Structures are given as C-alpha cells and as structure tokens.
Structure 1
Amino acid sequence: MEDAEFDDILDDWFIESLKTYKDLHVYQLEHPTQVIEWTSEKTVCVAGYSLSKNEILELRLPLKLFADENKGLCAERDFKVAHGGFTDGPVRRLRHIPGTRCVVTNDGLSSDLQVWDLGGDDSDVIRRTGSIAGRRNVSERGSRIAARLSSPPQILHGAQSSDIQLTELTSGRTLYKLETDSADPLSSLQFVTDAVFLAGCSNGSVCVADTRTSAAPQLSPPPASSGDSVLWWADASVGPHPSSCRVIRLSSSGQAVVSDLRKLGAVCQAQLDVQTRCCNLDHVRVSWAPMLDDCISVSGFGGVVQIYTTCGWSMELQERQPLFQHRGHVVSSQQTDDSVPVFTTAHIWHPERPRTLLSAASDGSVHVWDWVDPEQSAAGSPIPRT
C-alpha cells in the first residue's frame, strides 16, 4: 500500500471515529501481548509472549478516559507504566488474584504456574515470588487459570478437564480436584459464583462443577453441528446465582450457541460474520459484556473486535451482522503485499464502564475504546444494566 493511500484510509477512519467512539486511546508496546487483565479499575497487566525474555507490565489507563467533564483540559492522554519486570519465557495466560497485588501466569508450554508480586507504592518492580506445579509435566496448550476473591487466596487451574484443581496460593495445598473421566483440552476456565465454575473444552463440551462438593460435574456435549476439526471457546455471564447465568459457545466456523447454565441445552444460536479461515486457539476470545444485557464481544478472527447483540437470536441458524466493529488495529497498521496480516490477540471489557473495552494486536498495539451504539434507541439493542 502506498503511503498516500494509507494516510487517506487512516484519516478517513479517524474522522469516522469522532462519531463512532466516545473515547479512543492508542498505545504501542515494544512487543505484543496476548494477555490483558484488570488489576484495578484504572490499571491493567500485560506481558510479552515471545519464546525469549519478555516484559511484564502494569499500565495505568489514560486519566482523560475517567474525566467525566472537561476532558479537553485533562493533560494525561496516554497509558503510563506503573510497575514492570521481566519473565524468562512467554506469558500465554495471566490472572490477577482479587484483593491482592499478585498475578499468576502460565507459559503455554507446561501446566506449571508462576506467581508474581506486582509491587506497591514503595517499589515499581514486578518480581516473581513462587511457582505452583500442575498435574501434567507436558501440556500442548498450557493451563487455564481462574481466580476468585477468597482468604487465603485460591486459584483454579488445569490443562485438561481431568487436570482441574483448586490450589491455595500461599501454601500450595490442593483443596479440590475435578473428578471426571474425560480428558479434553481446555479452552476456558472461570468461576461463575464463589464456588461454581465452568470449564469449556476445545471440542465444544462444557462442564459445570461446585468446589464445595465431590459430586459429579454437570456435563454438556458439543453442539450437534460440531465437527472433529472444529475448535470451540466458551464464556459464561456472571450473576448472583447460577440460574441467572448464560453460556456462549463460539466455534472456529463462526457458529455461536447460547445455553442456560442450569440445563446447558441450546437456547438460541447464530452464524457470526467472522473470518473463519484465520483463527488461533490462543487468540480467539468471546466474552459476555458485564454491564450490557444480551451483548457479546468476539476477537481473534482477523484484526477486528466485533460486538454482537444476542437479542433476536433463535434456534434457526441465521447469519448475524455485528452491532459494532473496532477496526483500529487493522487501519492503523500499514500493510504491504508481503507483510504478515495484523490480528487481534486479546480483548477485555471494563468491569464498570458499559461500553469500554481494551484490545491488543499482533503489532504490539493496545487500544482502549468506548464505542457508541449505532442502534442505541432501537428496540432490542443492549442497554446498560442498572
């Protein structure tokens, strides 16, 4: 692409963004990240994933983002590095332990975990403080990690459904093991309440279990249209009780299936408008919006982040168009005929700001953006929860 043509596309997109974004901030990391994790309302943790030495950073979001009035008078418009350190290997998974200044990471090469202290007011250094052994010496895709607010701190982790265990962080003591005969590789792991968790497998099956009991987990097989070569990702909406939670399963073919957590049978489905020819198990993300009803986000299929509303979906598999697309990572990266296409590596919703997301891409770009719903006043569009 010629420089003049690229400048024109970039200019057109920035002019368009004045109408389609309430806020848009761009930051460039030295190396790309595939982890973005909130450590507070205004800070996130990121880390590199190259096979050599990597940075692990805690970034403070632009203060301008949080200025409700007179945004133009706010001088702080950029991300700031609050704390930083180095890892000896890649960081493929990262989870903050609620109520602490600790994060737990996994390198994607084994099921072992690394524990890190993020530092505090007296130190800007992130340092490794320990490790936790997984149940497998070798793992094809590494361990998934989930955390909850508990005292003392505890983490749930595993590479396969048969490996899942709950570990006390300070002592390393195993508090719970999932008893199941299946050994399917995990694509997601999360708590939906203080004790109940959901494990999504890459073949499309999901299981729901309670760490307070040794009872057999609730199992759901892959959706009926799933094939052997299809990969799946899952996410559960978080509510005060499991009965209020829903599960979204997304396949590498673009099929999205919504289930009720109590029964795990399909409630509705849709065929999403994604680039199914280019996706990676470690990069695709599907997430329920924490502060919007019936709203999901999808990334990892190419260089965009898409927002969909599930309102109006039925059991008939119909193609659905995104409600909104963040194209900033692709537009701001100048592509040539022989360059490697930019793809998104991670995204995450802000826990309290309904339409604010952070996203990262393979070129090292990190964006924070607050999108404007083009159909905000239309019936059936997602509205902020009260």
Structure 2
Amino acid sequence: MYSLSYKSDQFDQCGENIKMEQSECDDILDDWFIESLKTYKDLHVYQLEHPTQVIEWTSGRTICVAGYNSSKIEILELRLPLKLFADENKGLCPERDFKVVHGGFTEGPIRCLRHIPGTRCAVTNDGQSSDLQVWDLGGDDSDVIRRTGSIRGRTGPSETGSRIAARVSSPPEVLHGALSSSVQLTQLESGNSIYKLETESADVLSSLQFLNDTEFLAGCRNGSIYIADTRTPAVPQASPAPASSAGPVLWWTDASGPRASSGSVVRVSSSGQAVVSDLRNLDGAVCRAQLDVQTGHCKLDNVRVSWSPTLDDCISVSGFDGVVQIYSTALWSTELQKAQPMFQHRGHAVSSQADGGAPVSVTSHVWHAERPHTLLSAASDGSVHVWDWVDPDGSPAE
C-alpha cells in the first residue's frame, strides 16, 4: 500500500487521505505528486528547524541528525514513522510522523557523526578541526543527549574536518583523521591511540570506513586510496587517482557492503565521472560512467556516494543538486559512456520549486541496512525524507 505523509508548513493541508488543494500547490508539485503514487511504496517528510548534513542510523528504526549552520544547534535522535514498518493495513497505523526520542544541544556545528555500534554513544566532528566530541545518546531513563568527553586529533585547524569510522569492538574504539597522515584508532574510554596510519603523504580525506574487523579504507579528495590493517604498522596499500579528462577534480569514495574486503570501490568525481574498481586491483577499472549530474551546482561538503547494502551493483549519488540518484553499475562498461539513473528522488527539489524558494541541495542520504529500497535524505531547506521506491519495472520492493 502506498502512503504519503507530510509534516511541514507548506504541506499542512495534507490529511489522512492525502488531500491537496489545487490553489495551494502549483503544477510542478501536483505533477510530481501524481507521479509519486506510482514510483513510491512509501514517502514520509519531516521538517527540521535547521538543515543537517548528517543522517546516522542508531538502530533499525532510529536515526541521529544534527545542525551545522545556526547559533542554536540541535542534535536529535528521531524515530522513523511506524507506518513505514507496518506490513499490513498501513492505513490503520496511527503513527505517520517522525518522533523525537532523544535530544540535546551543541556549541558548535556538526559536520560528521558516527554512532558506535553496540553502544548508546556517538562521536562527532565540527568540520573545523581534527578533534572529536563524544556523546551519550540517552536511554530509557533519560531523553537528553549530552556531551561526555572529547578526543584530540593529530592535526590542528582543518578546512574539511575529520572523517570518522567505527565498528563493533570491546572496548569501543573509533577510527578518525583529517589527512591520510593523521589517521588513528583511539579507545573511547581511555582516549589512548592504539594505531596510527603511517604514510608520508598528507592528502585530505573524503571518506574513512572499515572493510572488516581490522582492515579499513581511507579515500582522499585527490582520488587516491589507502587500505591498511590496524593489526600491523606495515606500509598501507596505496592506489593513485583514476585518470580524468576533466583536469583537476575532487573525488568521493565508498566501498561495497559488509563483504567489502572482497568487493568493489566506487569513486565519483566533481566532474561527474564514476569509476568502479575491484578492491584486489584498485589501479584498474572494472567499469566507468559519466553520471547525469549538475556539476556546475556541486557543493563539495554535500556530495555523497554510497553502495546499496542489499542490492547488487547499485549505488546512490547526491549533493550535486536537489535530487538523489540511483544507478545500476551492472549496465556500465570499461569505456566511459553517459549513464542514466534507474531512479531519482526529486522530492526535495520539487517542494522548494512549488514553494517559490531558492533551489535546494541534498546535504546527505543513507540506505537502510535491511530494507532494499528504503533510503533517507536531507536537504538544505531542513527537510528530511524517508522513501521506499518502486523498481523501474513497476513492482514494489519487498
């Protein structure tokens, strides 16, 4: 069953039966609404007071978001609409909106946030230095998110801030760094550094992620990649940036799925080129494509590329404009050719056009770890969407 609920000033007229007054919505929004009845299984919208660049899962049904551009910055844990998870009789489910379950305030912006798996703890970075802030996300006895400590980085002020990665460990540990030469693994409880990535280069990081319990990937903005093992101080495996005909470009990187150590890496450039490589041969290209993105509107801090955790050969891209695009890399070849997305979420862009506001940019998006076609996205107007898209062949996702 398709369901659509809105919680924002411009959509206050939408009720249980999704009624819209023609006089209050222009043709752009109306056309997209009719189209969305066929292209989404579910779509829910929430309006934050201030926009966020972080969407981090804290459980299968809750996310953490935080502001970055105001004097009063909130950090919130939101529960997704229960109607999204109803298997049958969705219309009878009374919970159609996001709900704030824990919240707090921070003195500075939050540009990066990671939940520590297996705990009620999160680590953040302000995008201005390499230092981290540690947070208690609250529990059943408290709805307050509070700061409990900090972790010193290996570098001073930074134009991009630190990247953060975490995985299940005991005691809890966090991998972090602003540059390839400043990556370290730190124990949260003691604050002790138990591993440092040893490399002579000092490339600005665009991504940092664990491939398995011990190996991690550090993707750099210049397109180079390092793969290292926290159990050994050995020199990391390094790969240079892919060749680009567009001149100097910046790159964003993601490795595929929970079996990433035997999987693939995708690199997307500021010129819209995507290159997929095998983790066992990073210097080669399994396939490549020129994406259908608006490179002239690219906001460097907003660009995201992510492999689907459940769908084979499927990536999502956002941050070039107000849409989230989903591509099937199975259709690509080793020759650079233009690629069209198999699906686009245009809700953020369409709603801003209908409201007469300035064009919005998608600031972040994430896949649900278990629901194949469910994603969340946030935009510069403060909107947060959770959507379950329908396969291009017209069949809804299970």
Q: Shorter-chain TM-score: what band?
A: over 0.9
Where does 1:225-374 land on structure 2 (aligned, <5 Å)?
A: 225=244, 229-240=248-259, 242-243=261-262, 245-264=263-282, 265-334=284-353, 339-374=357-392
- The correspondence for 1:25, drawn from 44, 59, 67, is 44
TM superposition shift of 1:9: 1.6
Whether the 8 Å contact between 1:234 and 1:247 is mirrored in structure 2 is yes
Q: Alpha-carbon deviation of 1:187? A: 0.4
1:238, CA displacement in angstroms?
2.5
Q: Which residue of 1 is the match for residue 95 of structure 2? A: 76
Alpha-carbon deviation of 1:125? Answer: 0.3
Tell me which residue corresponds to 2:7. Answer: none
Deviation at 1:140, TM superposition (A): 1.3
- Give TM-score scaled by structure 2 length: 0.91
Cα deviation 1:123-148 (Å, max 9, x = unaligned): 00000000000001211110000000
Contact 2:207–2:220 (CA<8 Å) still a contact in 1? yes
Matched-pair contact (CA < 8 Å) for 1:193–1:238: no
Quote the offset at 1:333 in angstroms: 1.5
Pair 208,227 (structure 1): closer, same or farther in 2 beyond 3 Å: farther
List runs of 5+ in structure 2 lacking aligned partners.
1-21
Q: Provide closer, same or farther for how the CA distance between residues 108 and 7 of structure 1 changes in structure 2, counting only shifts above 3 A.
A: same
Counterpart Cα distance in 1 of 2:183 and 2:39? 42
**Residue 204 of structure 2 contacts residue 221 of structure 2 at CA under 8 Å; is this kept in 1?**
yes
What is the deviation of 1:228? Answer: 5.6
TM-aligned CA deviation for residue 376 of structure 1: 6.5
Give secondary structure in 1 for the equivalent of 2:34.
helix
- What's the offset of the Cα at 1:336? 7.8
Q: Distance in 2 between matches of 1:236 and 1:72?
A: 38
**Structure 1 equivalent of residue 217 of structure 2:** 198
Q: Decide whether the 8 Å contact of 1:37 with 1:96 is kept in 2.
A: yes
- C-alpha contact (below 8 Å) 2:50/2:70 kept by paired residues: no
Inter-partner Cα distance in structure 1 for 2:226 and 2:70: 32
Does residue 375 of structure 1 match 2:393? yes
Instruction: Describe the SS at the equivalent of 2:37.
Output: helix
1: CA distance between counterparts of 2:247 and 2:164? 25
| Mapped partners of 1:86, 1:99: distance in 2 | 23
Query: What percent of counterpart residues are identical?
Result: 76
1:19 alignment partner, SS class: helix
Q: Distance in 2 between matches of 1:241 and 1:258?
A: 13
Q: Distance in 1 between matches of 2:28 and 2:247?
A: 40
The correspondence of residues 118-197 of structure 1 with structure 2, limited to 5 A, is: 118-197=137-216
Q: SS in structure 1 opposite 2:153?
A: coil
Shift in Å, 1:271: 0.4
Structure-2 separation of matches of 1:252 and 1:141: 16
Report the secondary structure of 1:266's partner residue: coil
Measured against aligned partners, the alpha-carbon deviations of 1:269-298 in whole angstroms (never above 9, x if no partner) come to: 000000000112210000000010010000
Which whole-Å CA distance do the structure 1 matches of 2:109 and 2:260 have between them? Answer: 36
Structure-1 separation of matches of 2:160 and 2:323: 24
Partner of 2:86: 67
1:292·1:385 contact (CA, 8 Å) conserved in 2?
no
1:6 Cα deviation from its structure 2 partner = 4.9
Counterparts of 2:70 and 2:77, CA distance in 1: 20
Structure 1: runs of 5+ lacking an equivalent: 378-383
1:116 matched residue in structure 2:
135
